[in-house]
Amino acid sequence: MKKPLIAFFGLGTMGGGMARRLLGAGFPVTVYNRNPAKAEPFAEEGAKIAATPREAAAGADIVISMVADDEASRGVWLGPDGALAAVRQGAVLIESSTLSVQWIRELAEKARAAGCDLLDAPVTGSKPQAAAGELCFFVGGEAAAVEMARGALGAMSKAIVHLGPTGSGALLKLINNFLCGVQAASLAEALALVERSGLNRDAAMTVLTNGTPGSPIVKTLAARMISHEFTPPNFLLRLMAKDLAYASAEIQANGIEPVTGHAALKVYQNAVAHGDGEKDLSAVIEQFRPQP
C-alpha cells in the first residue's frame, strides 16, 4: 500500500531523529525547519525541503510538529505561511511538542475548522530514543485519527498510549516532566552536598543510584553530572524550565498550589541565568558548584 505523505516541522534534538525514522521506514517526507541549514542534510536522505510550513503541509496526509514551545507551535500552524492555511480536509495533524493544554485545545478547534483532526501526541524519551525509534507517544484525540496515524507513529516509537480526548496527551506529558524536573533538581542539590561535604562521591552515588532514589532519570543524569558531560544535550535545560512553567500553571488551574513545582522552576531559572540553558538538563547542578 502507498504510504501517506508526511509533512514534518522541527529538526532539532528530537525532531531530527523522528524525521529520520520516518524516512527510514519508507514514508515520503517533506520537512520544514526555521533554520534552513538544519534541513539541508535531510535532502540527501530523501526528504523534500519546504521553505514554509504552508508549503510543506500542502497535500500532506499527516502533518507532524516537534518544536520548542507554544510560541514556536503557533508559528508553524498559524498565519499566511502556517500549515493550517494549506492543509487538506481530512488530514491528521499531530502536535508532538510539549505544550500548554490551553494552546492544544485552541489548536484543536482551529484544526476542526479546517476539516482536520488534531492529535496531541508528545513523547517520552530523549535524543537516543528518538534516533532509535524507541519513543513512547502520549496521545489525546479521536480514536479514528489515532488509527490513521498509527503507522507513522509506530515508525518512531515502541509504544503508543491513547489516553482519551484532546489535551490528555499534553497534560500527562506535563505531569511526567514535572516529576522528572523535580527529581533532577533535587539530584543536583544532593550531589552538590555530597561533593562539598567531603563524602566519598563514588561510594555515595553508588548507594543513591542503586537504592530507593535511583530512578532511571537519576541514574542517567548522575553520570553526566559527575563527568561534567553537558554537551551535546539529550534534553535542553531551558526546555525543562519551560515545561515546569507550563506544568505549574496547569497545577494552579486545577486548584492545587504548585509548591515543589515552583521551587524546581526557580532552580532551572537560576540555571538559565547562570548560562546553562543551552546545555543538557544535567547542567542544572553547575549553579550549586563552587565557581572558578
Regarding beta strands 123-124 and 135-140, do their DSSP bridges make them parallel or antiparallel, or are they unpaired? antiparallel
Query: Which residue is it, cell 535545560?
Result: 237
* Residues in CB range of 217: below 8 A, 6 or more apart: 180, 183, 184
How far is the C-alpha of 70 from the C-alpha of 53, rounded, in Å?
Answer: 16
* Residues in CB range of 241: below 8 A, 6 or more apart: 265, 268, 269, 271, 272, 277
Nearest to 125 by CA among 110, 138, 139: 138
Catalytic residue from among 3, 48, 173, 279: 173
How far is the C-alpha of 247 from the C-alpha of 265, rounded, in Å?
Answer: 10
Reduced to 3 states (helix: H, G, I; strand: E, B; else coil), residue 114 is coil
Catalytic status, residue 173: yes
Catalytic residue positions? 173
